Amino acid sequence: MNLPQDDWATQYEKDDNSFLLDVRTAEEFDEVHIPGATNIDIMKGQGFIYSVEELDKSKNYYVYCRSGARSAKACQIMSELGFENAYNLLGGIMEWEGETE
């Protein structure tokens, strides 16, 4: 599900069962990321799928990338793998106005 920044951030902050997922490259992640995020690079193809399959499907996943395109694809893949709640940050970290590190 695609969510605009305000809805995505508000929902994430209120969610006691959340998992923050950054699907950019390790280099991009090292430059800047949202605090608390776990990095799993979607560009790793099957490696991404293997890593995601090890995650807890009962959690609510808040997914972002640079602009929202890769994270939208990641949410689609996660849905196909049986994840019920994967939320894509529209506009990605490029438009993110919250805290970063």
For this structure, is 65 an active site residue? yes
Please name which of 78, 63, 55, 83 lies closest in space to residue 22, comparing C-alpha atoms: 63
Give the active site residue among 65, 72, 74, 86: 65
> Could you give the residue numbers annotated as active site?
65
